[in-house]
Structure 1
Amino acid sequence: MTMESTKFKKVGIWLDHSFAYFVGYADGKATLIEKLDSPHESMKRVEGEGNDTTWYTPNPEHASNNEHKKHNITQNELKEYFKILEGKIQSYEDVLLFGPGTAKEQLRNRLKDNKAFDKKWFAVENSDKLTDNQLLAYVREFFDKHSI
């Protein structure tokens, strides 16, 4: 947690399964605080490993025994990523989670189950990938519109 981020009570977090951008909001201004990389890699391949699927068999559902192991690794990496995000979110009062895909809902569901977040205000919005300037504008416009 940087000193910079402690002055913000409101934060917008753009996230997917690969990384998260923290954008602080105060006094009508949005400031990019940090980018957090996820320990999760979506396309992982062990050195020397072959393809996971067998293309030319009568059974198209056939998959290798690596699939179960990879699924567990992926789930553990995502849990670790969300745990890191949880720790960073604790110092904020109002939190906007936004981005493409399902990561924002997964994180929100996890936070809902954690009593430490009961008094915090959360919003979840869909958003495409955004440039840095678009990120700042999105967070600024959201909190300007939803003055709490």
Structure 2
Amino acid sequence: MDSKSFKQVGVWIDFSKALLIGYNKGNAELIETIDSPYESIKRIEGEGNDTTRFSPNSEHASNNEYRKNNISHNELNEYFKIMEAKLHGFDDILLFGPGTAKEQLRNRLRENKSFGGKWFSVQPSDKLTNNQLLAFVRDFYDKATP
């Protein structure tokens, strides 16, 4: 099926990737896998620790931490922009997965005026196989629609 034929979508999301599962009339289908540009642990080749040059004391940290945090924030922002573009054509959006990425994405989508008339649901979930992902979305929408 074409992704344009789905109006309901389930999104399994964490900070490393997102899986879009379309749902239509009892049929759940994996539409797309989106890899995240976000890396939680950064290590630059040849980089030492985050202490200053003249002091091995960890209380004298360098400005490296601020720069790393800024890079991580920008990568996460880019990831959520990609997700916004992918989810724009859907009316009902189910966000599920481990961690806090699903809540962060929901909050960002709610702030976006173009998602004003959309329906969101956030559900906790562990890591699942592809068949379990399809079953999770199918079961959720089967219970949600009369």
TM superposition score normalised by structure 1:
0.90
What residue is the counterpart of 2:130 in the other structure? 132
What residue is the counterpart of 2:80 in the other structure? 82
Find out whether 1:142 has 2:136 as its counterpart. Answer: no
What residue is the counterpart of 2:24 in the other structure? 26
Q: Deviations over 1:61-116 (max 9, x none)?
A: 55442111010000000000000100110100000001111111111111111111
User: How far is the alpha carbon of 1:51 from its aligned partner?
Assistant: 2.5
C-alpha RMSD over aligned residues: 1.7
Instruction: Give distance in 1, aligned partners of 2:127 and 2:50.
Output: 29
What residue is the counterpart of 1:116 in the other structure? 114
Regions of 4+ moved over 4 Å:
none
Specify every segment of 5 or more residues in structure 1 that has no aligned partner in the other structure, as ranges: none
Instruction: Give distance in 2, aligned partners of 1:113 and 1:49.
Output: 38
What residue is the counterpart of 1:93 in the other structure? 91
Specify every segment of 5 or more residues in structure 2 that has no aligned partner in the other structure, as ranges: none
What residue is the counterpart of 1:8 in the other structure? 6
TM superposition score normalised by structure 2:
0.91
Q: Which amino acid aligns with 1:35?
A: T
Instruction: Give the count of matched residue pairs.
Output: 143
User: How far is the alpha carbon of 1:35 from its aligned partner?
Assistant: 0.5
What residue is the counterpart of 1:46 in the other structure? 44
TM-aligned CA distance change 1:70 to 1:28, over 3 Å: same
User: How far is the alpha carbon of 1:129 from its aligned partner?
Assistant: 0.7
Q: Which amino acid aligns with 2:66?
A: H
Q: Percent identity?
A: 64
